[in-house]
Amino acid sequence: NDSRLSQAALECLKKEGLGAGASRLVCGNMTAHQELEEKLARFKGSQGCLLFSSGYMANVGVISSLFGRDDMIFCDRLNHASIIDGILLSQAQYKRYPHVDMDALDRLLQEAPATGKKCIITDSVFSMDGDLAPLDKIVELAKKYQAIVMIDEAHAFGVFGKHGKGLAEHFGVEKEIEIQMGTLSKAAGCFGAYVCGSRDLITYLINQARSFIYTTAMPPSIAAAAAKAIDIIENDHFTRERLHENARYLRAQLKLMGFNTVISESPIIPLVIGESHRALEFSQRLLRKGIFVSAIRPPTVPEHTARLRLTAMAAHTKDEIDFTLGQIQRIGKELKII
């Protein structure tokens, strides 16, 4: 809802019109795309950047173009569905390791055949549990076994790190992660996705990633709005700090009430209920009070772990959060969850 973004989009819309018209490689390549890529590469401190029309397409395109039958991918069990689809399309061999279990990952890497590329792929902030991937340890293991690391910063971009570059910045391992993907659809409030990495990686993707080549470029006005979002992310530390403050407060209060919030360390706060119908009932009762919290159910999350997924925002006021907490406590008691 930040009017600075819609203003940037409007100005570009007046100049460039609505659609990009074609794939970047045909005649859809516009100044707004290139400016956004340059800005992202500079912001992320990488040699290059490539835009995709969505995070789903970025993961599918990158993974399927870089890896094949002879390669081995190591994938956290709770990684986003788009990563799984990319792996399936690549036909690479893959092992899913138990969620953030570094001993298990170590063992799997040790057992891996010596031929082919090895790659560890992980969400940096997990979208349904709100916890963090131990990127420092992942980078260490990658060095030990000569594996490539790819991270999906969808929920970390704009949120983690001193400048909001993501969880790699937070852990100080930006230089050690070869493939850094993130979306512009979440904290950046726009649409689309980026992949940052070496110049060679970007050149390769431009020529090989089918979900980049065979699809129409993102509308230029969206790219212009995203460029504005990056300026805000880079300079507005106050809003980021308020976001984390709101999240900390919400988490702490829910824990005090006796809810199971798993091990969330981010603004994504799962409130695990158990059975789907109870999570739905909880969500509907909240909506009647004007509070919109969706119930996330299997197969998006494992059986018997249906949950409310709360997301703290920087724009929430203390009064709004306290009102929400009061309603959650009341309904939690009525439904005998606490």
Ligand X SMILES: *Cc1c(COP(=O)(O)O)cnc(C)c1O
Residue number with CB closer to ligand X (52 or 332): 52
Applying the rule CB under 6 A, the residues between 64 and 103 that interact with ligand X are 80, 82
* Residue of the chain from 16, 37, 76, 123 that contacts ligand X (CB under 6 A): 123
Question: HEC profile for 93-151?
Answer: EEEEECCCCHHHHHHHHHHCCCCCCEEEEEECECCCCCCECCHHHHHHHHHHCCCEEEE
* Count, residues near ligand X per rule CB under 6 A: 14
* Residue of the chain from 46, 64, 90, 127 that contacts ligand X (CB under 6 A): 127
To ligand X, the closest distance from the beta carbon of 229 in angstroms equals 14
Catalytic residue among 165, 186, 228, 316: 186
Catalytic residue among 33, 44, 155, 165: 155
* Residue of the chain from 155, 240, 251, 307 that contacts ligand X (CB under 6 A): 155
Q: Is 65 exposed, middle or buried (0-12, 13-18, 19+ CB in 10 A)?
A: buried
Residue number with CB closer to ligand X (64 or 183): 183
Residue number with CB closer to ligand X (122 or 283): 122
Residue number with CB closer to ligand X (43 or 56): 56
- Tell me if 154 contacts ligand X by CB under 6 A: yes
Q: At what angle do helices 55-66 and 81-90 cross, to 10 degrees?
A: 30
Provide the β-strand partners of residue 272: 307
Q: State yes or no: is 99 an active-site residue.
A: no
To ligand X, the closest distance from the beta carbon of 295 in angstroms equals 17
E-only strand ranges, 3-91: 48-52, 72-76
Catalytic residue among 124, 127, 264, 283: 127
To ligand X, the closest distance from the beta carbon of 107 in angstroms equals 25
Any residues with CB less than 8 A from the CB of 66 and at least 6 apart, and which?
90, 117, 119, 179, 204, 208
- How are beta strands 268-274 and 306-311 bridged, if at all? antiparallel
Applying the rule CB under 6 A, the residues between 167 and 226 that interact with ligand X are 183, 185, 193
Q: State yes or no: is 186 an active-site residue.
A: yes
Q: State yes or no: is 39 an active-site residue.
A: no
Q: What is the dihedral of CA 56, 57, 59, 64, to 10 degrees?
A: 140
Phi, psi of 311 (to 5 degrees): -130, 115
Residue 219's SS3 state is coil
> 123 is written with which tokens?
């969400």
Residues binding ligand X (CB under 6 A): 54-56, 59, 80, 82, 123, 127, 152, 154-155, 183, 185, 193
Which residues are known to be catalytic? 127, 155, 186
